[in-house]
Structure 1
Amino acid sequence: MRGERRRPAPVRFDDPVEVLVEAGLVDTDFVSAQLGRPFGSVHDAARAAVEAGDVSPHPLFEAHWIGRRRSWQRAGQHPAVWYVSERRRRNRISPHPLVDPRIVFASMPEARLHPYGALAHWLSVATPGTPLPTRVLSRKVSWGSYRAAAIEAAAAWREEVVVERPELVGPAPALPASLGASPAVTVVMSAQDSGPAVRATIASLQAQSFADWQLVAVDRGSLDDTAAVLEGVAAFDERITLVRETRCGQARALNVALEHSTSEHVAFLPVGREWLPGMLADLLAHAHDSGAAVVLAGAGAVARSRRELLAGRPVDLATALLRRDAIKDVGGFDETLDASVERDLVLRLTGDHEPLPVDVPVLRRPEGAPAGHGDDWDSAALERQLVDWAAAAARPTSDDLVSHVLPVGPEPRRTVEWLGAMPREGAELVLVGVRLRRAHHVLAASIAAVTSGARFVSVPAPVSTSTATNVGIAHASGSTVLLIRPEAMPPRQPIADRLRQVLDEPGVALVQPLVVDLDGVVLSAGARFTADNPHPGLLLAGLPSSDAVRAGARRVAAPASPVVALRTSTAVTLRGLSARFHSVLAETDLGLRARAAGLGDTVVVPDAVITSRTPYAEPAELIGATASLRRSGLRPPADTTRDLLRDAGLEITDERQHRVTADPEDRTAPSVLVPEPVVRSLLGVQESPPRLRWAVDIAAPAASRGDRWGDTYFARSLADALERRGQHVAIDRRDARDRDSRDLDDVLLVLRGLDRVTPRPGLLNVEWIISHPDMIAPDEVAAFDLVYAASTSWSERVSREWGTAVTPLLQCTDTRWFHPDRAEPDTGPALLFVGNSRGVYRYAVRSALAIGADLTLHGNDWTEFVDRDRIASGGVANEEVGALYASAGIVLNDHHLDMRRDSFASNRLFDAAACGARILSDRIDGLQEIFSGLVLPFDDERDLARLAAPPYAAFPDDATRREIARGIIADHSFDRRAETLVDDAVRAILARR
């Protein structure tokens, strides 16, 4: 009997400050970190959090995680007050990803009586060393450790996003009448094999409004015409000096240029960069007005103070002006460094000289480049400031580590999913946040800080997904890197090792998994290009994933996937994803560039599956990306789609151009034509042996929600048996029922459970009723070509009454997992039940516990009916259930009421009987005829107590049970059922044709 519960004392919720303080949901240090000011008391902090709006009062409460904003807005309450006042709902709602009320209640039942709920009670008893109540993390993390990480993350968010930079100097003062010696500034340039870009770069210098400059250009032994171009430009402008050097490093070339400098100030103009006309004048005016040795300007995330340098922001000398004597005092550029020479110099300079940050526009777009946020040039310029590819190339990486690089999307739950899904060993997760809102930034950074192998990198500039990915590549520690777009869901089974295995094969540069949508239908198995269309299509799009698995791993033109794997060295060599692509098709361009550079091909691996929450691309996004891909001029390999589809049992009959448009109603709207094959299935019924395409329809939902359904296990075993007979089989869960490619199938086989399914015109429509006979109506049965039912008596009765032939076809067992050799009899549980509650206190379990039997229970959703210590596990893998059945003293079984009444023998009976188990079940007709004494009925608890007691005299001995089990395997296997289904389907199709 459960203890009698006291009603919690009434609490007033009209004063949010008092409620938050009394509930213990105010952490003064955490509020201070978010708002950037200290508080004298917890009440002051609570009041500030309430007044500030989007501020969390406590590290373990996050309103954005609850996601019910309109509820508290309608009530006019602070979200934390709304949460603690919700009573029953708060017991089910997690206020934070690392707080699970179920875990709190399981370890602290008294928490249900706390007036402010589970979190408030947990905080009242937790110490800094108490583990957090969560299943998200792969290891235990203490409350004190997470609190420190959350406070640090909140402070970093304010520093990086809210307070972007210190106060910047305003408009430039006027230049003084005299600047001293002439030239007033030396511009230094290092050039190597960059002839085409030199002329435009120097032209931007010659266009400066300030003309008293000197250019010292050092040619580093160029093999092209760089030196000749420089020499030609210098011949017409005496301010330009060319210095020829042998091939050397960047630091050496810049030091040589400085040796030829005579000016007080030095500016740096890399080849390929272009200044605005007022750049030199503005920076010189600030330098002379302030006397600063270091003037730092820039755009986006470039550092403009020593504090920002130390915090990790990149250096861009193209936006700086330095005093020459200060450079000389610190010894110039360090020629021993392979990378980061600019950063090293500025850090040494600012150690002695306070830099002057100025907000001066300095860089000009190249001729013809479009204006606006996020365009190609803006992204490329920001990327140069954010990513040091030379430093990334010099960083050591671990062969034992796979780095997952994920630019963080807009939804915190998706970020937490990836953090919780990461393996404990052999993987790291690099999260890249781009100007995130407070809640997401703090959650991502703090949870990453306490998650083994996870890191959070903040980008304080508005950059594209591709640029954010490149930032992550530069931080990767593994020799293999997975580039992940935010729409990709964590895989249900780990795929990193499988992708790396294929990546190690000769001639492979990139690997992509099979991409499916939320319904389980293929979105992409790679990109394909036809001879007459430069735009990529998506391989196998719209087909069931089984077609891709059947075709196998193979080389494709390029990837088209939100997840791709490649060697980190390859990613660095190619300089990551191109800034021309905001997101979509960036990986396609990367694969084509890898192939053009001779680094290898792209391989798709269908047995590694990733689910995308969204379509591959929105029309507007795809239109822009295809234009960028077309401009790249990269040549894809020959199209092999025909061979791939033939291996999947399909053939191409024609090729059409599918119009993708931003506005289907407007014919003048931007659009692009994408190749799309016209496909039909091969006439497999005429082969010997016949081969058909089957769509097996089940009621289970897609993804992990339906993985534990019995229908799913049944369908997988049946599909395997059909495949062993040479058939092509796709399992369509409820969500994939309406896929267009079902028209390519020969047979629709509905495993009738909870859902009524409409037959598909043109196919052979077959229904196998395996449960819930009360839901079947005569008109439903009449609509199918062939109908089977898992009950002999019910089939005979409805055939007579409804006038439609229903053939008995009993349920069956998978003999790979269920046979008597799985375990020694009577070495396991005395009384066993394996099954989920399904929301009811099932007859067999209730009866066993009523007689005080030693029941071992495996399954989900039992805590409402059974004490937790009675539950052995939340479920057992289907492949391991047979060992439990073979070793048990007694296996328990029961049926739904309608299945019991109409004698639909459950799948569990066949599985346990194939193991030679002793089985006790509720009574249905035909048990003796089918199971020959292995299954005995019990009508009440007294029957159960008598039959379940050793030495089990009512059952056959061990040898006899083994013999009966062999008969069950011979007559009631999935292979036998597949034989019947195939033979009947072939006869019906041939008769129809």
Structure 2
Amino acid sequence: MRAERRQQVRLDDAEEVLVDSGLIDADYVAAQLGTTFESPHEAARAAVHAGDVSPHPLFEAQWIGRRRSWQRLGQHPVLWYVSERRRRNRIAPHPLADPRLIFAAHPEARHHPYGALSYWLSVSGPGTPLPTRILPKKVSWGTYRAAAIEAAAAWRAEVVRDRPELVGPAPALSAGLGTSPAVTVVMSAQDAGPLVHETVASLQAQTFADWHLVAVDRGSADDTAAVLQGMAAFDDRITLVRETRCGHARALNAALEHSTAEHVAFLPLGREWLPEMLGELLAHAHHTGAAAVLAGAGAVGRDRIELVGGRPVDLTTALLRRAAIKDVGGFDESLGGSAERDLLLRLSRDHELLAVDVPVLKRPETPATGFGDDWDSVVLERQLVDWDAAAGRETSEDLVSHVLPLGIEPRRTVEWLSSVPREGSELILVGVRLRRAHHVLAASVAAIISGARFVSVPAGVSTSAATNVGISLAAGSTVLLVRPEAMPPRQPIAERLASVVHEPGVAVAQPLVVDLDGVILSAGARFSQVNPNPELFLAGLPVSDAVRIGQCEVAAPAAPMVALRTQTAVALRGLSARFSSVLAETDLGLRARQAGLGESVVVPETVITSRTPYATPEELIGAMASLRAGSATPPPDRAADLLLQAGLEVTDQRNRRISAYPEDRTAPSVLVPDLVVRSVQGIHESPPRLRWAIDIASPAASRGDRWGDTYFARSLADALERRGQHVATDRRDARERDSRDHDDVLLVLRGLDRVTPRPGLLNVEWIISHPDMISPEEVADFDLVYAASTSWSARMTREWGTTIKPLLQCTDTRWFHPDRAEPDTGPELLFVGNSRGIYRYAVRSALAIGAPLTLHGNDWTEFVEREQIASGGVANEEVGVLYASAGVVLNDHHLDMRRDSFASNRLFDAAACGARILSDRIDGLEETFSGLVLPFDNERELARLVTPPYDAFPDNATRRQIAMRIMAEHSFDKRAETLVDDAVRHLLARG
């Protein structure tokens, strides 16, 4: 009792807090609960006690994070949120309520007792723009609130639905029923002899006796047919029809062919009717004229909405008009266990279904639903998608429609909503039985974004069937079919894929698919001549191999995103609903080719990341069985020829076993083809050609895109490629990829991570930063070691006994040269770089003397005022314009780099542009940069050197001459020449 009292106090507190904090919207709560409230306190009380109900359009407990701290503490999420002062200020309670933006606009919000959102609501009106970064344009709070309330009401209308009213007791049965017999009872029987007597006896015990039983024996191996034949000998109302082994639907259709009655009932072996069953259902049918009378036992479907929503079907408790069955074509014999659901759904389109409250079974049972079976998706999709209407609809040539069935994670939905370009793109979100939070969030956010639509599917269909719903609604001439595991691409790819699928002879295009480590997951599917199962082409190889091959035809796509013309997708009737998710695109590509609509291609310059592996073993085993059942024939395998373009040759083919339980040899499994490859030996070519793996410390995906190591590695890889080398750049997450065994050289650009050399390769380390992290044991493990400091290289070679060659940093002359801009036409004093979590020496000194500093970079708000930051960063290709036009460029180094004279990459970039450069002091500046770089030791010197007319620096003409020398001696091409020559020499010496 005491615990209950404490909990009640907490709930009462939450009610009061909701009202005081402003985090209660009575209209929004009412829309979710389907009611109205007279006061905010009443709405707060209902929200607290209702469980999964959001109190406010901008508060969603499911958005706050994975840890669900309030659940561990037994608190209501709102009470937890408003009481967590320290953590609350860092938590976004909704994707459209970013506390960082609120604090930036209203610093006083940090001191509000209920947090940033409460403060913002207290000072905002309906016209105030939402505090969010994810929307492409400003949207007012009033606009979003209206959309959220409408979405909540729509969710309730769809999901929280009352059962239909059932018709009560049966009316009196009419004396004149027309034809005799009045009812044909249909039975499909196979290998169930012991059940025959009890089942038929329940029919013979009916109070209504004008019936005819047509029992179809499906080639039983036991005495089922004999028992039925024996009972027919004593009751001329029983007819036995013998068939060979066949499906359930085929037997039912055979029975209907022998039917003459106006009504049909269905009695499977093992079910027993109550004596009044036929009479009561027949009375309802004659009284109402309904085509179908559904009694049901338990939670069975009694109307069209419930049937589409996935409720079980039980024809044992139904009475149907024979003419109505004939009108819709009888049972579809291709649908297996879902044929009964399909028949009722087709009947419900044009005929009345009558739900009655009549007990009908002696032993009520839960019928076999077929729910979750592949055929159920096929059946339900037929009701949800009108392909004929889709074929007749005009589409826009300028529009690409993204079709995305939603997964279970709302954050992924918001990522897509915020990432798809609005111009020329349409995003159709398809939700299948979503939870309230996800449904309302997706619907409301989509409603306020131009070009986005949310479609809710009430039935529990597969991802493929949900995709087809979106295809049928697409307004663009191109559709991109996206599965939930696909992450939004970092660069726009829709336009490129759309252009490819409109090329002659192309039906389906897929991007290159990589895993979270940046390693190829799939470049399409390939098939061997002896194995019907597909292999993921190029899986495990670096992206550079796919780029080297280029756009090419593949047997079929295998990706969580594919593109095709909308008319092609409609002509093929979309994805086969037999595939719950994986290999549906592969089947689509094979069917497109068989229909003569074109081939499948992979477009490697378009890349997407999958947040999961391509498929689990269980998914693959099931999907491959469905794929083998298809009639499409894969094209001849071109994998060997394509791999040669990447410098790899096929030496053998083998089969690899995939099993959900590898240790259990009896568990279900499949064999997939697996190519055995090795690298082509290119060292004796002219010029020599090697496979390089450049290892850098940057993390994968967008997290590492801004790192200097990433830019440096990209430029070095391009320079090596220009010298005929094959280069893959591996960020830290891809370091352990197995395909490194195909490489010749591992080049470690030593930054923050120590990397273990790879046995069998030529292991090269280039130390470009953080010399304090290097040990003698580390460099001793490498075959070749370079360092970006002349003095440190010489000293460590003497002390450690391992040769370390000096190899200074360099510049990419494509982007950094004096012709990028006119001198002195840009910023007077410039710094381009991220803070790295410290108040950097150059920036601190410049601001201390009041210099007119232009600052570009990330993570500076902790140290400088927001208005002092010109931008969060500049594209690497455009930095040269700033350097060439600046009055003076600032630079500084890490402490250990300054002490050991590791000249930064920024110095070489700015010097190649002919810029005037001020830097902290390191040895060798004059020898390397010939007066372009001057050191400053204190703020007084800095103040003198940054003051025009910059007499301490050479004039414009001289600086240009120096820049040209820097470009000639310190370019990435020059460094690539050194690396290739040294690598070839060492490999040849190895023999």
Q: State the secondary structure of the residue aligned to 1:84.
A: helix
Partner residue in 1 for 2:867? 869
Output the amino acid matched with 1:502.
Answer: V
Deviation of residue 113 (structure 1)?
1.7
Cα 1:453/1:848, change in 2 over 3 Å: same
Q: Return the offset for 1:372.
A: 4.0
Identity among equivalent pairs (%): 74
Pairing 1:428–2:426 present: yes
Measure the CA separation in 2 of the matches of 1:614 and 1:358: 48
Aligned CA RMSD, in angstroms, stands at 3.8
8 Å CA contact 1:30–1:58 kept in 2: the answer is: yes
Shift of 1:285: 3.8
Among candidates 81, 91, 112, match of residue 79 of structure 2: 81
Q: What is the SS of the residue equivalent to 1:419?
A: helix
Task: Provide the C-alpha distance between the structure 1 equivalents of 2:850 and 2:573, rounded to a whole number of angstroms.
Answer: 68
Shift of residue 166 of structure 1?
A: 3.8
Q: Partner residue of 1:600?
A: 598
Match of 1:489 among 463, 487, 490: 487
Q: 1:64 aligns with which of 62, 65, 68?
A: 62
> In the superposition, relative to structure 1, how do residues 434 and 183 fare at CA in structure 2: closer, same or farther (>3 Å)?
farther
Which whole-Å deviations, capped at 9, do the CAs of 1:292-327 have from their partners, x for residues lacking one? Answer: 667687999999779999x9999x9x99979999xx
Counterpart-to-counterpart distance in 2, 1:263 and 1:107: 78
1:378 aligns with 2:401: no
Q: 1:770 aligns with which of 768, 771, 784?
A: 768
For 2:924, which of 923, 926, 944 is the aligned residue? 926
Alpha-carbon distance change, 265 to 931 in structure 1, aligned in 2, over 3 angstroms: same
The yes-or-no answer on 1:182 pairing with 2:151 is no
Q: Distance in 1 between matches of 2:406 and 2:175?
A: 52
- Whole-angstrom CA distance in 2 between matches of 1:740 and 1:432: 38
Choose which of 395, 409, 412 in structure 1 pairs with 2:410.
412
Q: How many Å separate the matches in 1 of 2:286 and 2:413?
A: 48
> Equivalents in 1 of 2:876, 2:59: separation in Å?
38
User: Equivalent of 2:645, from 638, 644, 647?
Assistant: 647
Task: Check the 8 A contact 2:309/2:460 in 1, yes or no.
Answer: no
Q: Which amino acid aligns with 2:576?
A: S
Tell me if 1:741 matches 2:743: no
1:454-489 Cα deviation digits (max 9, x unpaired): 111111111111111111111111111111111000
Q: Secondary structure at the match of 1:565?
A: strand
Distance 1:266 1:723, change over 3 A: same
CA distance in structure 2 between the partners assigned to 1:647 and 1:302 by the alignment: 59
User: Which aligned pairs between 1:234-313 and structure 2 lie closer than 5 A?
Assistant: 285=282, 287-288=284-285, 291=288
Map Cα deviations across residues 611-660 of structure 1 (whole Å, 9 max, x no partner). Answer: 00111010011001111111113211111110111011101111111110
In structure 2, what is the equivalent of residue 913 of structure 1? Answer: 911
8 Å CA contact 1:302–1:386 kept in 2: the answer is no
2:166 aligned with 1:169: yes
- Correspondences of 1:535-554 after superposition (within 5 Å): 535-554=533-552
Q: State the partner residue of 1:257.
A: none
Pair 1:295–1:97, CA change in 2 (3 A): farther
1:16-55 superposed matches below 5 A: 16-55=14-53
Contact 1:516 1:524 in 2 (8 A): yes
Residue 15 of structure 1 aligns to a residue in which SS?
Answer: helix
Q: Residues 304 and 122 of structure 1: is their aligned pair in 2 closer, same or farther, counting only changes over 3 Å?
A: farther
Give the partner amino acid of 1:679: V
Aligned equivalent of 1:509 = 507
Tell me the distance in 2 between the aligned counterparts of 1:728 and 1:360.
Answer: 76
Alpha-carbon distance in structure 2 between the residues aligned to 1:162 and 1:416: 25
Whole-angstrom distance in 2 between the partners of 1:739 and 1:774: 28
What does residue 726 of structure 2 align with?
Answer: 728
1:690 aligns with 2:688: yes
Say if 2:453 is the partner of 1:455. Answer: yes
Which secondary structure state, in structure 2, belongs to the residue aligned with residue 624 of structure 1?
helix
Shift of 1:264: 9.3
Gap change, CA 1:25 and 1:601, over 3 Å in 2: same
Q: Give the total of aligned pairs.
A: 890
Tell me the TM-score normalized by structure 2: 0.84
Closer, same or farther in 2 for the Cα pair 1:678/1:837, shift >3 Å?
A: same
Q: Which residue of 1 aligns with 2:225?
A: none
Partner of 1:564: 562
Matched, 1:113 2:80: no
In 2, Cα distance between equivalents of 1:37 and 1:753? 61
1:371 deviates by 6.9
Which stretch shows the higher mean deviation, 782-791 or 381-390? Answer: 381-390
Deviations 1:830-862 (A, max 9, x none): 010000011000000000100011111000000
Q: What SS does the corresponding residue of 1:482 show, helix, strand or coil?
A: strand
Deviation of residue 282 (structure 1)?
Answer: 10
Q: 1:824 to 1:722 in 2, by over 3 A?
A: same
Residues 935 and 290 of structure 1: CA distance in aligned 2, closer, same or farther (over 3 Å): farther
How far the C-alpha of 1:397 sits from its partner, in A, is: 1.5
| Alignment check: 8 A CA contact 2:719 2:973 kept | yes
The SS at the match of 1:815 is coil
How far apart are residue 797 of structure 1 and its match? Answer: 0.5
Q: How far is 1:828 from its partner?
A: 0.6
How much has 1:404 moved relative to structure 2?
Answer: 0.7
CA shift in 2, pair 1:297/1:593, >3 Å: farther
- Kindly state the Cα deviation for residue 182 of structure 1 after the two structures are TM-superposed: 3.3
Q: Which amino acid aligns with 2:88?
A: R
Q: Equivalent residue for 1:334? A: none
SS of the aligned residue for 2:532 comes to strand
Please list every run of 5 or more consecutive structure 1 residues that lacks an aligned counterpart in the other structure.
1-11, 188-208, 214-238, 240-261, 268-275, 329-341, 363-368
Alignment deviations for residues 53-81 of structure 1 (CA, whole Å, 9 cap, x no partner)? 21111110111111245411233321112
Q: Could you say if the C-alpha distance between residues 828 and 937 of structure 1 is closer, same or farther in structure 2, counting changes exceeding 3 Å?
A: same
Residues 672-716 of structure 1: CA deviation (Å, up to 9, x unaligned): 001110110000111111110000000000000000000000000
Alpha-carbon distance change, 589 to 349 in structure 1, aligned in 2, over 3 angstroms: closer
Is the counterpart of residue 147 in structure 1 residue 148 in structure 2?
A: no
8 Å contact from structure 2 (residues 285, 293) kept in 1? no
Pair 1:739–1:546, CA change in 2 (3 A): same
Give the TM-score taking structure 1 as reference length.
0.84
Determine the structure 1 residue equivalent to 2:786: 788
Q: Is the 8 A contact 2:282 2:319 kept in 1?
A: no
Q: Is the 8 A contact 1:295 1:358 kept in 2?
A: no
CA 1:943–1:39 in structure 2 vs 1: closer, same or farther (change >3 Å)?
Answer: same
CA offsets 1:248-283 (integer angstroms, 9 cap, x no match): xxxxxxxxxxxxxx999999xxxxxxxx999x9799
Instruction: Identify if the C-alpha distance between structure 1 residues 185 and 571 changes in structure 2 by more than 3 Å, giving closer, same or farther.
Output: farther
- Report the counterpart of residue 577 of structure 1 in structure 2: 575
Does structure 2 retain, via aligned residues, the 8 Å contact 1:844–1:894? yes
Deviation at 1:167, TM superposition (A): 2.2
Residues 281 and 293 of structure 2 are in contact (CA less than 8 Å); yes or no, is this contact kept in structure 1?
no
2-structure distance, mates of 1:694, 1:431: 42
1:708 and 2:706 are equivalent in the alignment: yes
Counterpart Cα distance in 1 of 2:982 and 2:976: 10
> For the Cα contact (< 8 Å) 1:768–1:787, is it kept in 2?
yes
SS in 2 for 1:695: strand
**Partner Cα distance (2:357, 2:98) in 1:** 47
* CA distance, structure 2, for counterparts of residue 786 and residue 935 of structure 1: 30
Change (3 A) 1:186 1:605: farther
Partner AA of 2:441 in structure 1: L
Q: Secondary structure at the match of 2:632?
A: coil
Letter of the 1:740 counterpart: D
